[in-house]
């Protein structure tokens, strides 16, 4: 008997999704609630669980197809996978073939190619592109994603390792008669994922709608670095999470948003909504692009609670298990481009929010202190804001409050 697999409810106001990848092939055994497909929505990737145990049947939709909530996308047959007659027959031992110079390598090459094809057929489009670009055999890379699946980061790490090993081992001179490869002119056309399309529309909408402006400041990170170095081991031992810089900036932002409420507000029609809470959107890198899960009521959270929430979202983003509720809402955003080496940027607000704080890399620079030139660990900060409801004075004031709190963390403790 064939059991239908339907697109589940995707969340409030979300009516359709795109087939991102199939996690089970026809004929494979499927356990109850085991993920069999990944759907891409406007915000997150959602896995479709098997409604019954059995054998994966036919696909009713292909990768890249748009499907609506309730649509049938596959079937699951009752029973268990059965081996074919060729597999069930007892095989008699065969005499070893005579040595041959050419067939053996050809067979090995064929088997290797088959394993590559088999391994790459379950990869997501982003991972598959990375595999092709870097010439990596996916069957030789251990996946760190959910259920051991390969992520783009796994492939990039394997490519870097391959490059490093190749550089170390390339001591012999190239053959004199080796033909020189000409420049590549290859063009690959890849359809944008639904998530990437949505990101593009939202960011362009922000540019078209909001009166965007960015103000900058730099901050001396000495005090925060010193505090982190002094307490990070005790913090990790007590709370089982690493003490990072994001909790300091989150709490500093809370001081600024309470003193300058317009930065935590948003426009709705002809009205401005002022929030007495702070739901912090934290930009997190995921295999399919940047996602922005929300840490709610940050103003009432401790440092450890903030770090635990961010670490949990980072893990969920990596293995693709973020839910629609994780992404919903948000009144203010912090984006840390410094982890990728960015020196300075003008971040774009995340509609309908009205401001975003951009953090950048920390680097030692000469600065003047009491008439003396000293070396300090400095960071550029950028606050992009919607000038329709936030005046320049308010934006500069908010950024200055964050700067003062980071340079003197005691202000965070005494709410100054």
- Selected residue with higher pLDDT from 190 and 163: 190
Residue 381 has pLDDT above 90, yes or no: yes
Residue 213 has pLDDT above 80, yes or no: yes
- Selected residue with higher pLDDT from 62 and 237: 237
pLDDT (mean) for 56-78 = 85
Residue 230: its H or E element: helix 222-239
Residue 11: its H or E element: none
Q: Quote the domain boundaries for residue 278.
A: 213-413
Q: State residue 245's pLDDT score.
A: 93
- Selected residue with higher pLDDT from 13 and 138: 138
Contact by Cβ (8 Å): 265, 317: no
Is position 103 within any domain? Answer: no
Q: Is 164 a catalytic residue?
A: no
Q: Where are the beta strands (DSSP E) in 201-352?
A: 212-220, 266-268, 271-273, 280-282, 284-286, 289-291, 294-295, 332-336
Is position 121 within any domain? Answer: no
pLDDT in tens, 311-354: 998 888 887 777 778 888 899 999 998 888 899 999 999 888 99
Active-site position among 240, 259, 391, 415: 391
- Selected residue with higher pLDDT from 23 and 253: 253
In this structure, what is the dihedral angle of CA atoms 404, 407, 411, 416, given to the nearest 10 degrees? Answer: -10
CATH number reported for the structural domain that contains residue 34 in this entry: 2.40.50.100
* Residue among 348, 357, 339 at smallest CA distance from 400: 357
Q: Model pTM? A: 0.65
pLDDT (mean) for 358-370 = 94
- Quote the CA–CA distance of 33 and 55 in Å, as a whole number: 13
Contact by Cβ (8 Å): 367, 376: yes
User: Domain boundary residue among 77, 100, 132?
Assistant: 77
Q: Kindly state the percentage of the chain with pLDDT values over 90.
A: 39
Q: How confident is the model at residue 383 (pLDDT cuts 50, 70, 90)?
A: very high
Residue 259 has pLDDT above 70, yes or no: yes
Q: What strand order describes the sheet that includes 332-336?
A: 212-220, 372-386, 355-369, 332-336, 280-282, 294-295
Is position 251 within any domain? Answer: yes
Q: Is 387 a catalytic residue?
A: yes
User: Domain boundary residue among 77, 103, 125?
Assistant: 77
The total domain count for the chain is 2
Q: State residue 105's pLDDT score.
A: 42
CATH number reported for the structural domain that contains residue 309 in this entry: 3.30.559.10
Residue 365 has pLDDT above 60, yes or no: yes
Is position 204 within any domain? Answer: no
Is position 388 within any domain? Answer: yes
Contact by Cβ (8 Å): 394, 263: yes
- Selected residue with higher pLDDT from 19 and 295: 295
What single-letter DSSP state applies at residue 168?
H
Residue 413 Cα to chain centre, angstroms: 32
Contact by Cβ (8 Å): 5, 76: yes
Q: How confident is the model at residue 261 (pLDDT cuts 50, 70, 90)?
A: very high
**Phi then psi for 285, rounded to 5 degrees?**
-80, 130
pLDDT (mean) for 159-171 = 64
Is position 10 within any domain? Answer: yes
**Phi then psi for 284, rounded to 5 degrees?**
-130, 135
pLDDT in tens, 75-120: 888 876 654 444 444 444 444 444 444 444 444 444 444 444 444 4
SS (H, E, C) 12-39: CCCCEEEEEEECCCCCCEECCCCEEEEE
Residue 207: its H or E element: helix 194-209
pLDDT (mean) for 356-380 = 95
Contact by Cβ (8 Å): 273, 265: yes
Residue 60 has pLDDT above 70, yes or no: yes
- Selected residue with higher pLDDT from 14 and 234: 234
Q: State residue 118's pLDDT score.
A: 45
> Is 143 in a helix, a strand, or coil?
coil
Beta pairing class for 212-220 and 372-386: antiparallel
Mean pLDDT score of the chain: 81
Q: State residue 292's pLDDT score.
A: 86
Q: How confident is the model at residue 289 (pLDDT cuts 50, 70, 90)?
A: low
Q: How confident is the model at residue 32 (pLDDT cuts 50, 70, 90)?
A: confident
Is position 349 within any domain? Answer: yes
Active-site position among 164, 259, 387, 415: 387
């Amino acid at each position: 008997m064939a059991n239908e697999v339907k697109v589940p409810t995707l969340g409030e106001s979300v009516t359709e999704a795109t087939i991102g990848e199939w996690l089970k092939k026809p004929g494979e055994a499927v356990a109850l609630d085991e993920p069999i497909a990944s759907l891409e929505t406007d915000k997150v990737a959602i896995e479709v669980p098997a409604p019954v145990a059995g054998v994966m049947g036919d696909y009713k939709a292909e990768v890249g197809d748009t499907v609506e909530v309730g649509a049938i996308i596959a079937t699951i047959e009752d029973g268990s996978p059965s081996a074919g007659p060729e597999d069930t027959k007892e095989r008699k031992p065969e005499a070893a073939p005579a040595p041959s110079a050419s067939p053996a390598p050809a067979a090995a090459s064929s088997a290797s190619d088959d394993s590559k094809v088999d391994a790459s057929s379950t990869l997501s489009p982003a991972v598959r592109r990375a595999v092709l670009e870097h010439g990596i055999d996916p069957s030789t890379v251990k996946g760190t994603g959910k259920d051991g699946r390969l992520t783009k980061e796994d492939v990039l790490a394997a490519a870097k390792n391959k490059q490093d090993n190749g550089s170390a081992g390339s001591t012999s001179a190239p053959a004199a008669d080796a033909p020189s490869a000409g420049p590549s002119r290859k063009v690959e056309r890849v359809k944008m994922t639904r998530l990437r399309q949505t990101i593009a529309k939202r960011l362009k909408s922000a540019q078209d709608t909001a009166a965007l402006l960015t103000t900058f400041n730099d901050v001396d990170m000495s005090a925060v670095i010193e505090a982190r170095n002094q307490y990070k081991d005790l913090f990790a031992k007590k709370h089982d999470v690493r003490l990072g810089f994001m909790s300091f900036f989150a709490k500093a932002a809370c001081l600024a948003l309470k003193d300058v409420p317009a930065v935590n507000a948003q426009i709705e029609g002809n009205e401005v909504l002022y929030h007495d809470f702070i739901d912090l959107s934290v930009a997190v890198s995921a295999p399919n692009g940047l996602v922005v899960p929300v840490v709610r009521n940050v103003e009432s959270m401790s440092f450890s609670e903030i770090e635990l929430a961010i670490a949990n979202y980072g893990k969920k983003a990596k293995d693709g298990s973020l839910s629609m509720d994780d992404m919903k809402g948000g009144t203010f955003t912090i984006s840390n481009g410094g982890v990728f080496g960015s020196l300075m940027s003008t971040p774009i607000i995340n509609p309908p929010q009205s401001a975003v704080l951009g953090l950048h890399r920390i680097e030692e620079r000469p600065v003047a202190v009491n008439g003396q030139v000293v070396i300090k660990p400095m960071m550029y900060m950028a606050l992009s804001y919607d000038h329709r409801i936030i005046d320049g004075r308010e934006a500069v004031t908010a950024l200055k409050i964050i700067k003062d709190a980071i340079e003197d963390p005691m202000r965070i403790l005494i709410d100054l």
